[in-house]
Every structure is written in C-alpha cells, then in structure tokens.
Structure 1
Amino acid sequence: MSGLLPLFLSTDPKQRLRIQRSLLAASVFIACIALQVYACWAGLMARSEAETLSGLIVANVVFWYALLRSGLNLRCRDPALTLPQIIAALTIIVGAYATTGAAHGAVMMLLTLVLVFGIFNLKPRAARFASTYTVVAMGVAILYKIQTDPANYPLRLEVVHFALVIAIVPTVSSLAAQLSSLRARLQTQKNELAHALTRIQILATRDELTGLVNRRHMIEVINQHQKRLQRSGHHRFCLALLDIDHFKRINDTHGHNVGDEVLRHFAQVAQQALRETDVLARWGGEEFLVLLNDTMPEQAEAGIERIREAMADAQVAPSVPELRLTFSAGLTAYADDEPLDHCVERADRALYQAKAAGRNRTVLHAATPRLAAPRQTATER
C-alpha cells in the first residue's frame, strides 16, 4: 500500500495535502448519496432523479481529483481550487435539496458543512461570494419548489428553511473572513520574525559597513581550519593582516563619509581579487584579516599581490575619484597546533615591519612564534 499511496496522492507534499482535503470533502457527497438512497427506499424521491444526481456527484469528485492529481491546478492563482470546488459542491447540494422531496430538510446541514471545509482556506472576498451564491441559489430553489411541488415544499416550512440559510450561511462566511485576516496577520508576523532572525544572524557574523565576515566569526572560521589541519595533517593555510596606508589622513582630509566609502570599496576590490576558498574579514578599523586557504606562504604572497595590483587602478571613493589606495600587509603561515593568537601576533609583527619599511609592501614572517612586541596604534603607524 505504501507504494500505491504516493501514486494515488502524489509525492509532492503540498499536492498530497490538497488532494487529501478534496477527498475528505467528498465525504459530504457520500452523505448526500446515502440520503438519496434512503429517499428512494422510502418512496420520497424518484429513482431516476437519484441516479442522475448521484452520477453528477461521482463525476464532480472524479473531476476535481483528476485536476489536482494532474498538476494542472498549479497554473491557477489558488492551487487548492478552494472556491471552485465549494461552488460546485454547493450547486450539487442545492440540486439535492430540490430533488429529495419530503426528505429535503436533511440536506440543509450539508450546506453549512461544505462551507466549513473552506473556512480555513477562503479569503474574505471568496467567502462572501460563496455565502452570497448559497443564499441566492437556495432562494431560487425554494421559490421554484414552492410553486411546482407545494406538497413536499410548503410555504410555511420553506420560509423557516430560508431564514435558517440567511442566519447561518453569512455567519460562517464572517467567521471565514476573520480567520483569513488572522492567518494574514500571523503570516506577516512570521515573515517579520524570519527577517529579524536573518538580520540578527547577519549582524552576528558580518561587519555592517563592509559586509565582510566580522572579527568574531572570523575566529570561528580559523578554528574550523585548525581542526581540519589537525585531522588531515596537510590542510595548510596562511593568515595576512592588511592595513590601509595613511587612512587617518584620508579621514582628516575628506571626512569620515569618504573614509567609509574607502573601507567598503577596499573590501569589494580585495574580495574580488581573492580566490573563492579564501576568507576576508574586517578585523578592526582599517585592518583586514585574510585567511588564504590550502596554500603555502609563497603562493599566499602572490595572492596578496593580486589584491595590490587590483587596488592600484581601483576607484575606492566615488566622491573623490582621484583617490588611490595602498596597503601594507603582514603575512605568515599557521604552524601546527599553535594558539591562534600567536599566529595573528606574528602576522601583526610582519605588518609593523612592512609599515616601518615604507608601507605599500608585504612582509612574510616565517619565524617561530614568540612573545609579541607592544602593539602600535594606528596613529603611531
């Protein structure tokens, strides 16, 4: 059975749910057919009318099942086809009301049952349309039967029936509209919550100004690479600290807005020059940390020089198009099992040497780790 069920109901979860709901609604028609069988047995309904109506009911169920199972419903705005199915069902119920003779009062409850099936899916406008259609169709059927079959449809009884339709059907429609509004509000809140969660995740891992990985997340990334190296024994990587030369002068001369432009465009140019497997992070201020993945120091140095070449002709501040940038870089390879801060300190010492040697250059520091010299401030550099 498990092999036939997906074939019968579809393997797509959403389509399967739509088909199941449609078939569940068919239970209303089973009750309608059962009522017709009883009406025929009790002599309250002609057999020919019962056979015709039952045939229409079966054809209606098969039609909607075939439409949903074929996937043609996916071309519609509402793939569940809720309103068309409800209108078709209501039409059949009204037909049953008009043909079941003295037993027609039992059909009344089926009208409400049909509307209840759509109460969780109908939008307010569709719910109002279904309600109006039900009241009008029932009113026409009742007027017709009062004129043509007053024995089974006496005026005093049909007035009561119609009053019940007017009282109950719009109430169900109103409830459907309220539920629809509630669903819309819940969906809006869900979307807002998802957006806020995404925003929180971005803020937790990304630098807001440049969009790069932030310092905290970069440490996590490097830790993951450390573990890979420990497991594989050959997954080498290098770290490079980049510092924009004379950035304080840019801020003092052109203002902090231009400084922000410089940081953003520096990040974009550097990111494009690196390989997809490399990771660039905003380390702090005008400093950036690069993780050059699966590479030796000489290859890593070539990667840093690609950034330098790209930066030479890059426009890093649209508001000051003539402005050009250089940067100093300290590069080092990660040594097996060393603490991360030792590797970063070694890259920092290499960066300090690059600045002391005249800036706009890369210094490779391959010495064994040792205690770091006191960190120089950006102003001192």
Structure 2
Amino acid sequence: MRHPIARAWQRITDAALSTDPRRRTLVSMALLALLLMASSAGVMLLLAEATQTMNVTAVRWWAAMSVGGLVVMTAFVRSGQTARLGDPSLTIAQMVWTITSGAVAYVLAGEARGIVPSVLAMILFFGTFALTMAEVIGIGVYALTAFGCAIAVSTRFSASTSGYIDTAYALMVFIVLGGCIALNLRIQRIRANLQRKREALAEALAVNRELATRDELTGLLNRRAMQDLMALEQRRALRTGRPLMLAQLDIDHFKPINDTHGHSTGDRALQAFASTVRASVRDTDVLARWGGEEFVLMMAETGPDDARDLLDRVRQAVEALSIPHTTGALRLTVSVGLAQHRTGDTIDQTLERADQALYTAKALGRNRVVLAPPGKGTGGVSARA
C-alpha cells in the first residue's frame, strides 16, 4: 500500500499536470518555461529595486505581462484545447512571446542589460527539440529582428557617455543569437539524420520479418510461420467449437521436371502452382510452402464437405494449368490429403492424418483429393478424382 503522502502528492500532480501521459508531458514543459520566465522576471525586479537606472514601474509591468502571458498559454495547454493544433505545446507561441519579452527587457535593463544574452540563449535552446528546421530558422530571424530593434532603441535613448558599452552589449547579443541559431540548426540536422536512420532500420526490420515468415521463391508463408499460425487457429477452434481443416498438397511427379528441364523450370512450376492455388482458395484460407513440392492449406471454420469441394476446384485449376517451356508446355497435377482437426489432437497429429490421406491419394493413382476418416486409423478414406 502506498504511503498517504505519496498518494496525496500523486493527486496533486494529476490535478496540476493531467492524467493523460501526452498532455502531462506538454504541461510539464510549459510549466518549466513558466518557471524560467518567472525566475528571469525576479532577477529583473531585483535589479530594478537595487539600482537607480531602471524604471521600477515599467519593469513591474513588464514582469506581469511576461509571466502572465505564459500563465495563459500553460492554462490552455492544461485544458487540452490545444490538442488539435499543429503545435499542441504552443512552443512557437511561447518562444515568440519570450523573445519579445527579452527584447523589451534589453531596453528596460539599461546598463544591466548584459544579463539578457544568457536569458536569450536559454530561450532559444529551450524549444530546439520541438521545432522543425524551418521553424528554427524562422524563430532565429524573428529573434534577430526583435533584438535589432531593441538595440537600436536602447542606443537611441542611452544615457551612457561612451558608445563602447552599448556596442559591446549589441555585439554580445548578436554573437549569442548567431551561435544559438547555428547550434540549433546543427541539432536539427542531427535529428533529421537520426530520423532517417530510424526509418531505414524500421524498414530493414520489416523486410527481415517478412523474410523470416515468407518463402522466398513463392512468397507464401514458410513452414515455421505456418506452424505458429496453425497453433493460434487451433486455440481459436477449441474456444469457438468451429471446425478446422488441414490439407497436405503434393505436386505429382515433380522430381522428373527438375531432372529433365532443370531447376529453373522447376522453380517456375512451383511459382505457377502457388499462384494458381492461391487464386483458387478463399481469402480466409492460408496456404504455405511446407518444403520442396509440398504445401499445406489451412481452412478455418470449414466443414469436411466444403473443404473437399474447394480442394477439388483447386485440383481442377492445377490440372488446367499450362506452363510455357522451350519444348512445349508443362502440365501439373496435384494430390491432396485432407483431415479435420479433432478436439484433443495436436496439430502435428492432424497433419499426420492428412499426410496419410495424401499417401492414399498417391496410391490410388494421384490427381485426387482424399479425406482422412474422422476416427482412429486410416481405413475408410473418401477419395475424389
């Protein structure tokens, strides 16, 4: 059980930051910006009270406006009303506001305006990771313009008898601005490169996953992927009580094709066979290459009669297939062993029954579909040619 203080603190943070993870992050960042602005305003107020060169009333108004603007923005972020905006954290609005505030502070600070460049650097770095490259450039241009105006105004009304201090302050502001913009752009380029690498890695992983589950020659599921899928379908069939049929398909007399016409012709025959079977079955049926010229077809929520009718159509489509070759056209036939999955059996046991039915189809002359008996043993098979 959590300590009462911990529970109380959790309630307070949930009330302040929201319980939504995304909004919680946005509010936390907005509150950090507000804290930094409040701290900067506090420093300005302290200087105004301690020196005789600053207009205390003007600084107080500046502090109220600067902090108040961020308070309003933070409240909007917390309310969730910014969620549909392109910039839900109001990062650009906050940066424009704080840059404007910083430019005004530069004018009000008088001889103490040397503190402004450090605050400016903090503002520019604060939003770096939330901005795009174009937004960084836009913010940089705005900052240069705003502080250019501030420098011109402060120089115009400066009471200093020497222009060296004003020039030094102005140069420092532009040095800080230029450095911050350059570093921000560099950070954006690094982020872009990292994003490209992440996308390339994700694409490579997707390709690897595809290669790990697909037969390279036919594009069908491979044996391992099919085993996983059959195990999943077995559990579903057990839960729903709906029938599950498995079929073993074997291309008749395939070895002579390789021996007589070569493996490239055999590969084309396998591809043509896979495409023909895939076009003849339903979208819900799953075909996989089991190995060599052997294939497995899984038919969920399908009874024996419907499965046998479907496989007979597959057999006829394969029989009608013609594969062009230099010496003529190759013809294929297929033998099929079909078995219904029984409650209490494993998938391997069902496949073994389908394999026994396949051997029966071969023994009966090939080019036919044989349904394994529902009970134990191999007798009483039903064949269709």
Q: Indicate whether the TM-score tops 0.5.
A: yes
Q: TM-score, normalised by structure 1?
A: 0.76
**RMSD across aligned positions (CA):** 4.0
Unaligned runs of 5+ in 2: 1-8, 379-385
Cα distance in structure 1, aligned partners of 2:332 and 2:64: 82
Look up the match of 1:166. Answer: 174
> Residue 377 of structure 1 corresponds to which residue in structure 2?
none
* Aligned-partner residue type, residue 113 of structure 2: H
Q: Deviations over 1:23-42 (max 9, x none)?
A: 21222311232123223423
- Answering whether residue 355 of structure 2 is matched by residue 351 of structure 1, we say no
Q: For this pair of structures, how many residues does the alignment match? A: 360
What TM-score comes out, normalization by structure 2 length? 0.76
Query: Which of 65, 68, 86 is the equivalent residue of 1:59?
Result: 68
Q: Which amino acid aligns with 1:19?
A: V
Structure 1 residues 116 and 256, CA gap change in structure 2 (3 angstroms): same
Contact 2:213 2:224 in 1 (8 A): yes
Equivalent AA in structure 2 for residue 182 of structure 1:
I
List per-residue Cα deviations over 1:253-292 (Å, max 9, x = no partner). Answer: 995686355234334335526xx4x643221344321334
Residue matched to 2:291: 284
- For the Cα contact (< 8 Å) 2:82–2:89, is it kept in 1? no
**Structure 1 position 193, deviation (Å):** 1.8
Deviations 1:135-194 (A, max 9, x none): 33223212222222324x952111111111222221222111111111122222222222
1:1-381 aligned at under 5 Å gives the runs 2-3=10-11, 5-42=13-50, 43-68=52-77, 69-72=79-82, 74-76=84-86, 78-151=87-160, 155-222=163-230, 237-244=244-251, 259=269, 262-272=272-282, 276=284, 279-293=286-300, 299-309=303-313, 327-334=334-341, 343-366=350-373, 368=376
> Match for residue 376 of structure 1?
none
**2 CA distance for matches of 1:158 and 1:173?**
23
Could you tell me how far apart the structure 2 residues matched to 1:318 and 1:97 are? Answer: 85
* Structure 2 counterpart SS, 1:272: coil
Q: 1:135 to 1:179 in 2, by over 3 A?
A: same
Pair 212,99 (structure 1): closer, same or farther in 2 beyond 3 Å: same
How far residue 347 of structure 1 moved from its aligned partner, in angstroms, is 2.2
Say if 1:135 and 1:202 are closer, same or farther in 2 by CA, change over 3 A. same
CA separation in 2, counterparts of 1:270 and 1:315?
12
User: 1:279, 1:292 within 8 Å by CA — same for their partners in 2?
Assistant: yes
Query: What residue identity is the alignment partner of 1:60?
Result: G
CA positional deviation for 1:94: 0.8
Q: CA deviation at 1:330?
A: 0.7
Q: Distance in 1 between matches of 2:350 and 2:377?
A: 7
Of stretches 361-370 and 153-162 in structure 1, the one that deviates more from structure 2 is 361-370
Deviates more, 1:88-97 or 1:46-55: 46-55
Identify the residue that residue 382 of structure 2 maps to in structure 1. none
| Deviation (angstroms), 1:67 | 4.0
Listed one character per residue, the Cα deviations across residues 207-242 of structure 1 (whole Å, up to 9, x for unaligned) are 23444321122234445677889x98x887543112
Residue of structure 2 in register with 1:378 after alignment: none
C-alpha distance in 1 between matches for 2:10 and 2:368? 68
**SS of aligned partner of 1:305:** helix
In structure 1, runs of 5+ residues without a counterpart are 371-381
From the superposition, tell whether residues 109 and 218 of structure 1 become closer, same or farther in structure 2 (CA, over 3 Å): same
Shift in CA distance, 308/323, structure 1 to aligned 2, threshold 3 Å: farther
How far apart, in 2, do the equivalents of 1:264 and 1:355 lie? Answer: 20
Instruction: Evaluate the alpha carbon distance shift between residue 10 and residue 309 of structure 1 in structure 2; reply closer, same or farther with a 3 A threshold.
Output: farther
**Which residue of structure 1 lines up, in the alignment, with residue 3 of structure 2?**
none
Give 1:92 shift: 0.5
2:5 aligns with none
- Distance in 1, Cα, partners of 2:104 & 2:311: 78
Counterparts of 1:23 and 1:317, CA distance in 2: 71
Q: Which amino acid aligns with 1:265?
A: S
How far the C-alpha of 1:111 sits from its partner, in A, is: 0.7
In structure 1, distance between residues paired with 2:13 and 2:173: 39
TM-fit CA distance, 1:93: 0.7
Letter aligned with residue 306 of structure 2: A
Cα distance, 1:292–1:175 mapped onto 2, change above 3 Å = same
- Asked if 1 retains the 8 angstrom alpha-carbon contact of 2:113 and 2:169, the reply is no
Q: For the Cα contact (< 8 Å) 2:246–2:338, is it kept in 1?
A: yes
Letter in 1 for 2:27: I
In 2, the alpha carbon distance for the partners of 1:315 and 1:18 equals 64
Deviations along 1:351-370, whole A, 9 cap, x unmatched?
Answer: 23324435443212337469
* Counterpart Cα distance in 2 of 1:225 and 1:174: 57
